[in-house]
Amino acid sequence: MLILILGLWVGNPAWAVTFLEDFADDPTQRGWVASGNHDLFAWNASLERLNVTWDTTNGHSFFARPLGVTLTRVDDFSFSFDLALTEAAGGVRNGRPGAMQVAVGLVNLAQATSNNYRRGAGQARDTLEFNWFPAGLIPGYGEVEPTLSLVSFDNAGRVRANFDFPFEWELSQALHVEVVYRAAERTVSMTARRSGGAAVTISLVLDEAFGPITLDAFAVMVWDETTSFGDSLRAQGWLDNVVITVPDPPIGELRWVAAGVSTVEFESRSGWRYALEASGDLQDWQTVGAPSSGTGGSMSLSDLREAIFSKQFYRVRVEVE
């Protein structure tokens, strides 16, 4: 009998720990992709950074780096970056006196690029963002001061957000931002430090009412003002020194065990559910045996069927619990 074991997970182990981007080389040759208006993003080869224009008349636009893994609320992860603005003004168009945000963070790229993604109106999903708003005007409310924000949406659009204001940000002043998520506490903390200045920390608790979230790309985000309630933004600046730390894939060291029955062993992670699947043609797959929860250590799954097959292929399906 021919037996082939296929390990199945989302991700590339080469990216499983830490990813660093200093823009010394063309980022489009290193896995970065643009969506929407590509002209808003330009690699500055001489200064080794990414120039960005936040022009909210262009529809949703992104410059994104797929992570190679899908992050969920059971995963510890972090990301940091340096960001500076050379121009920033909210409420720049008639009828849109409010300020939209300068945004950088994590998204689910398929969700964010879908046609019904109305981020400006708060109808977003699967997003974790650093936001900074220049001063603006909200009709019926009045002037709004420059504001720093940390915001997250789950996959049903439930939102958690926190703010610090006034947060003045001088043009050309580099801001170092670090965002850390701790799964055990379900807490996200963001620290923003201006050059030569004190740090500001904002935290979110993604409580039990906050649902599942899946994030698979780091992105600079330019949101579409037509999805907002009357906001607009024109800003320019640059991004540099991106560092992203993600967990190992949810399955590792997959191996075959010759023990009289078809058995696979692997290293598992808590918070994930594992199931053995079998196929005779690599097209039609069926689950053999009950799914099992990860232990954080070694696990085994066996095919206990009594049928005899001329050949059989196996894979392990992994899902977040």
At residue 321, does pLDDT exceed 80? no
End position of a domain, from candidates 245, 269, 291: 245
Cα–Cα distance, 254 to 268 (Å, whole number): 10
More confident residue, 145 or 121: 145
Position 222 confidence tier, pLDDT thresholds 50, 70, 90: very high
**Amino acid at position 143, single letter:** E
pLDDT at 121: 59
Confidence of residue 17 (pLDDT cuts 50, 70, 90): low
Residues 312 and 230 in one domain: no
pLDDT per residue as tens digits for the range 237-286: 999 999 999 987 777 778 887 666 888 888 888 778 899 998 888 889 99
pLDDT over 60 at 5, yes or no: no
Query: pLDDT at position 176, please?
Result: 97
Indicate the pTM of the whole model: 0.78
Q: What is the pLDDT of residue 163?
A: 96
Characterise 90 by phi-psi region: left (phi > 0), alpha (psi -120 to 50), beta (else).
beta
**Each residue of 53-69: pLDDT tens digit?**
999 898 889 999 999 88
Residues 208 and 60 both lie in one domain: yes
- Determine the pLDDT at residue 314: 86
pLDDT for residue 49:
98
What is the identity of the amino acid at 114?
S
Check whether residue 300 and residue 272 sit in a common domain: yes
| 34 and 69 inside one domain | yes
Return d(Cα 236, Cα 184) in angstroms, integer: 37
Q: How is the beta sheet containing 298-303 ordered, strand by strand?
A: 252-258, 262-267, 298-303
Residues paired with 35 in a beta bridge: 62
Host domain of residue 98: 17-245
Question: What mean pLDDT comes out for the span 224-232?
Answer: 83
Single out the residue in 189, 221, 245 at which a domain terminates: 245
262 with 218, same domain?
no
Contact 253, 290 (CB under 8 A): no
CATH number at residue 198: 2.60.120.200
Tell me the per-residue pLDDT of 286-319, one tens digit each, with 9 for 90 and over: 999 889 998 888 898 988 887 777 788 888 888 8
Cα–Cα distance for residue pair 120/101, rounded to 1 Å: 9
Q: Are residues 257 and 210 in the same domain?
A: no
Residue 249 CA to residue 255 CA, distance in Å, equals 15
Determine the residue type at 116.
N
Q: What is the pLDDT of residue 44?
A: 98
Q: In which element (H, E) is residue 109 found?
A: helix 109-112
Cβ-based neighbour number of residue 6 at 10 Å: 14
Residues 111 and 206 in one domain: yes
274 shares a domain with 315:
yes
pLDDT, tens digit (0-9, with 9 covering 90-100), for 141-185: 888 899 999 999 999 989 999 999 999 999 999 999 999 999 989
Answer with the one of 214, 245, 276 that is the final residue of a domain.
245
CATH of the domain at 278: 2.60.40
**Total count of domains within the chain:** 2
Secondary structure element (H or E) that encloses residue 245, with its range: strand 231-245
How high is the mean pLDDT of the chain?
87
